[in-house]
Amino acid sequence: MSNKITIEPQENLSGEIYPPGDKSISHRSVMIGSVSEDITQVENFLTGEDCIATVKAFRKMGVQIDENEPGILTIHGVGINGLHEPDDVLDVGNSGTTMRLISGILAGQPFYSVLTGDDSLRSRPMGRIAKPLRMMGAQVYCRKGEKAPLTIIGGNLNPVEYKTPVASAQIKSCILLAGIYAKGETTVTEPAESRDHTERMLRSFGAEVISSGLNRMIKGRPKLSGHKVIVPGDISSAAYFITAAVLCPGSEVVVRNVGINPTRDGILVALKMMGADISMENQREESGEPVADIRACSSSLQGCDFNGDLIVRMLDEIPLVAVAATQAQGQTKISDAIELRVKETDRISATVSELRNLGAKIAELEDGMVIEGDIELAGGLCKSHGDHRMAMSMTIAGLIADSETTIENINCVDTSFPGFWDMLSSLYR
């Protein structure tokens, strides 16, 4: 496939789709399944490059992971002490979740391991996980500026009580996974609640994980027992279609089997605050996670202010919310989102420059952006900045522009959503 795509403006999107499996939950199923006893079967596993990087890393540590049918994994768990030293560097590509979460598990291993990734990942901050892991007793070495490659020599961890300055599921999960290996109770406290998939999954595998306010405590050395995990559809992937339906005139789209975990549903809250016609049907629970079908129809939107704890619940969707804000009546202000600057790219500066390129009136803040609404976007040329979420967000901008939009460097979308454009065009009428 060529590494760019041209999007024509669309109206009347309609149809029903199933988004791919949740990226965060897919990663965790492999990590926790690998260090559990017995077999873990994973259904609806996301076979995007990021989650495949996690599978490859555990295979290199001696875990047998079979994919006999697409999206169905059988993980032959080796127990918490059964991993082997990898005989080569673990290259996890673009995946920050793999690098940060796996570091917690590696910190508990009495062997030497080296983690690296692509140019983007090697520029992202790793001190945020290296520091607590060192406090627990692991040797963690980084490049200058606490960047990857990382070298970890672990084993014999002490429990800690760690207060992280950043609300981040990757930091929290890293510490909880290291806490499996510590003798005693490890506690992590964050300033706001980040996604809680690790806590939910560890509990379902038999660990004692206690949540109290913003504290999460894990009791070390649990017996983890493998079982079946059914991964819900990824709300972060569903978000593109929901927003497209809201923005394109005459549209009605049903996105089925979407994970609606309250630590992840900020995009639905934000769009509803703006006045979007979104409803949930068939709410149920699957493998300890809430799931629903979501119906989204074209709507008139109002500008809003988004800040505080809601930002953590919709962090990966903010570039998309900015696209929606260009079509709202009035101004939208997004603040408290400085974490966007250390994602796969600096998503504040990338969103501002790409939307401005299409004619948006958008100002950059240190921790967010201010977007003027009721703007007719012009088609044009957009860059993905090598970031899957930028490429998909600009695709949705292309649907509502007044002429065609070409997005360059789009192969990065395979990290989280292989088949994105085919699913989108299945809604064209």
Question: What CA–CA distance (Å, rounded) separates 159 from 175?
Answer: 10
Least distance from ligand S3P to the Cβ atom of residue 203, Å = 16
Least distance from ligand S3P to the Cβ atom of residue 97, Å = 4
| Nearest residue (CB) to ligand S3P, 118 versus 293 | 118
- Structure tokens belonging to residue 370: 């201010």
> Any contact of residue 194 with ligand S3P (CB under 6 A)?
yes
Three-class SS of 12-72: CCEEEECCCECHHHHHHHHHHHHCCECEEEEECCCCCHHHHHHHHHHHHCCCEEEEEECCE
Residue with smallest beta-carbon separation from ligand S3P: 24
Which of positions 311-350 make contact with ligand S3P (CB under 6 A)? 315-316, 339
Site stretch for ligand S3P (CB under 6 A), options 162-170, 203-211, 290-298, 329-337: 162-170
Using alpha carbons, list the distances in angstroms from residue 44 to 25, 27, 211, 291, 420.
Answer: 10, 12, 28, 13, 16
Q: Say whether 374 is catalytic.
A: no
Site stretch for ligand S3P (CB under 6 A), options 53-61, 129-137, 166-174, 328-336: 166-174
> Any contact of residue 40 with ligand S3P (CB under 6 A)?
no
Q: 181: closest CA among 104, 130, 108, 132?
A: 108
> Any contact of residue 170 with ligand S3P (CB under 6 A)?
yes
| Nearest residue (CB) to ligand S3P, 194 versus 287 | 194
The per-residue b/e assignment along 262-293, b for 16 or more CB within 10 angstroms, e otherwise, is ebbbbbbebbbebbbebeeeeeeebbebbbbb
Return the residue of 26, 34, 40, 97 that touches ligand S3P, per CB under 6 A.
97
> Any contact of residue 169 with ligand S3P (CB under 6 A)?
yes
| Nearest residue (CB) to ligand S3P, 118 versus 316 | 316
Least distance from ligand S3P to the Cβ atom of residue 224, Å = 19
Which x/- pattern over 49-88 shows residues binding ligand S3P (rule: CB under 6 A)? ----------------------------------------
Element (H, E) at 297: strand 289-297
> Any contact of residue 109 with ligand S3P (CB under 6 A)?
no
Question: What CA–CA distance (Å, rounded) separates 55 from 420?
Answer: 22
The catalytically annotated residue of 91, 234, 265, 316 is: 316
Which x/- pattern over 7-36 shows residues binding ligand S3P (rule: CB under 6 A)? -----------------x------------
Question: What CA–CA distance (Å, rounded) separates 271 from 247?
Answer: 11
Question: What CA–CA distance (Å, rounded) separates 332 from 223?
Answer: 48
Which of positions 232-251 make contact with ligand S3P (CB under 6 A)? none
Site stretch for ligand S3P (CB under 6 A), options 132-140, 168-176, 206-214, 260-268: 168-176
Least distance from ligand S3P to the Cβ atom of residue 176, Å = 11
| Nearest residue (CB) to ligand S3P, 36 versus 170 | 170
**Number of shown-chain residues binding ligand S3P (CB under 6 A):** 11
- Structure tokens belonging to residue 31: 């990590």
Using alpha carbons, list the distances in angstroms from residue 250 to 8, 295, 428.
Answer: 16, 14, 11
The per-residue b/e assignment along 410-429, b for 16 or more CB within 10 angstroms, e otherwise, is bebbbbbbeebbebbeebee
Beta-carbon count within 10 A of 223 CB:
11
3-state SS assignment for residue 318: helix
Least distance from ligand S3P to the Cβ atom of residue 372, Å = 27
One-letter amino acid for residue 188 of the chain: V
Question: What CA–CA distance (Å, rounded) separates 237 from 214?
Answer: 27
Least distance from ligand S3P to the Cβ atom of residue 22, Å = 9
| Nearest residue (CB) to ligand S3P, 60 versus 197 | 197
Strands (E), 30-184: 39-43, 64-69, 72-76, 90-91, 112-116, 139-143, 147-153, 161-163
Return the residue of 40, 44, 164, 168 that touches ligand S3P, per CB under 6 A.
168
What residue ranges bind ligand S3P (CB under 6 A)? 24, 97, 168-170, 173, 194-195, 315-316, 339
Active site residues: 316
